[in-house]
Chain A
């Protein structure tokens, strides 16, 4: 939890956003984040973000599901309560395949979605600062982190030179917190 000062620039097209992001990264200002209304391909590369490892997590969850299913069914039918089904072997692996497959998918999907929410720090009740109400509509927003020593006019002029359609200085919470979206936060009222 930390209230910080931001210089915000809004762009109205991803084609303007890319050169702007390049300039911002070269300018020496501290880039807080970039917000877009839809996934912009190549933006993660332009920002120098690493590829996500979410799919690796998914694989691990899937394998966990596979071994849970096979292990559980094997233990039940071979050790805990062996039942003779028409003289068939207790350890009837082919008959275990459907449930094993389903649990693999179930574990992978549930695990991945929970990991996704954890990594992105999202869940019902979470609130984050929205720099521009149209950042989920049609604006591409770049937020720079500044402090009291930054020359605000200079930052704004710089952002305007990158073809921003709208610029502003905002004081806002930089992390997430629990809150209601229909209520204003103390820092917003100040």
Chain B
């Protein structure tokens, strides 16, 4: 008797009458078909944006960082804002794949592959900004501790900016390994059903020759679990260290101990919003509504309302602490944030991040797909403004009124930002076309516990009382 049982309170994770083969068919067949017109339109639009970004970066590297709007007072502008924004977005993928694995959240299986891909692409985008902010980018390798001819003179390991180098590169590497180790068995599935020679050859290479023996799977499970265990503190450490870039300084508005948890919550908040944006489109275009169900979207909306509220509490705590500290500079920093020339960014942040996600307390709205889609974009706009508020509105009016200034971006900064969207979506479109967007093996693993048809089979057992069930079970064994 099959005794994998999951409570009926939980809705099925896979809708429709699915067999193992049907799961493979549904998820792999988009790879084998020619992409639709929407894919081509989206892909070429993304590549165009990417080229715009390449041109903007070329302009900045050629003429120097002076072509950006940043100045002596506002040394960090859109560049670092975008860096923190993209890194934050990346956090949802690891949260879904690692933390929810440790918490045994079955719904992660439907969304983890795409979310991890999003993490990797977002970190790639994030990395561009500090690199090109260096100005003389050809000297960028100076951040690495290698035996050099200058002494050797080492980088300062006590600097939060150097911690960032290690955190981001480790995060990228580990996420990539985690993601790829999960992809190996799925690539083998694509390979074994491939009908064209080219596909057979390429997916044969990509699958590393995986055949799925019992021992291989045992090691695979052990690897996934340990990588999840490693990624969990890693993802928390990354945005903590990003927040140290600010918190270890002496700038009013930055020098605060609340930053690490506040940044991590904000990162998860924006990351889940980006996952929603992508998956709502993906499930529609690739026809994966039965795998990425409304239940999945609702679960993520719950995370959004939780982390959005944490972020809201953090904003209010910051305000209270600036007043309570009694420090004039702290108080003024916050006064200028709310009422100064950048008031619009503060209020955009407050509206998008604190007020609007509260609508997700209503179940109807949590399960409403168009509303979720709009909210996911609103949240990411809000989170962009949060980083802008933290960075620019802490810097533009500093200790000396004589150096107060106003900062606006120039076209190479805007082009650079749009270019990272191009990079992100170019990668994502290629991923959606050539990779299994949903973890095939993992879905099969949860199918019998959480598949719609299998759950329905359990209804008869569920109707019985415990005594009846125990009696029958004992009987069946004797």
Q: Which residues of A contact B (CB under 8 A)?
A: 15, 33-40, 43-44, 47, 49, 51-52, 54-55, 58, 62, 72-73, 76-77, 80-81, 83, 85, 88, 92, 95-96, 98-99, 101-103, 105-106, 108-110, 112-113, 116-117, 119-130, 133-138, 176, 180-182
Contact = CB atoms under 8 A, between A and B. Distances in A.
B241 interface: yes
B214 A72 contact: no
B206 A124 contact: yes
B177 A73 contact: no
A158 to B, nearest CB: 20
Given A33-B215, A37-B24, 13 more contacts: A33-B214, A35-B214, A47-B214, A54-B226, A73-B157, A102-B170, A103-B170, A116-B223, A126-B208, A135-B212, A136-B212, A181-B204, A182-B204
Interface residues of B, number: 70
Given A49-B215, A105-B233, A110 B173 contact: yes
A40 B241 CA distance: 39
Contact of A88 (B20, B158, B188, B226): B158
Nearest to A85: B158
> Which label, helix, strand, loop or mixed, suits the secondary structure of the B interface?
helix
A76 B157 contact: yes
B157 A138 contact: no
A136 B189 contact: yes
Interface stretch (B85-93, B355-363, B413-421, B440-448): B440-448
B2 A40 contact: no
B185 A136 contact: yes
Contact of B218 (A33, A44, A98, A126): A44
A44 B158 CA distance: 47
A98 to B, nearest CB: 4
A105 B154 contact: no
B244 A39 contact: no
Interface string B184-223: 1100110111000110110111101111111111111111
Contacts of A88: 158
B445 to A, nearest CB: 5
A128 B211 contact: yes
Nearest to A127: B209
A96 B163 CA distance: 9
B144 interface: no
Nearest to A13: B20
30 contacts: A33-B215, A35-B212, A37-B24, A37-B189, A38-B440, A43-B217, A51-B218, A54-B222, A54-B223, A55-B225, A92-B158, A95-B157, A96-B157, A98-B237, A98-B241, A102-B167, A105-B234, A106-B170, A108-B226, A109-B174, A110-B177, A113-B177, A123-B209, A128-B209, A128-B211, A129-B211, A135-B192, A136-B193, A136-B210, A182-B201
B477 interface: no
Nearest to B19: A138
Contacts of B303: none
B154 A81 contact: yes
A174 B2 CA distance: 34
B162 interface: yes
B287 interface: no
B151 interface: yes
Closest 9 pairs between A and B when the two form their complex, measured CB to CB: A181-B204, A126-B209, A138-B20, A122-B208, A182-B201, A38-B441, A98-B163, A182-B197, A138-B21
Nearest to B203: A181
B166 interface: yes
Contacts of B220: 39, 116
Given A76-B157, A85-B156, A126-B208, A43 B222 contact: no
A31 to B, nearest CB: 10
A37 B177 CA distance: 21
Contact of B170 (A49, A105, A116): A105
A181 B205 contact: yes
Given A113-B181, A122-B184, A124-B208, A101 B237 contact: yes
B473 interface: no
A134 B185 CA distance: 13
Contacts of A135: 192, 211-212
A126 B154 CA distance: 41
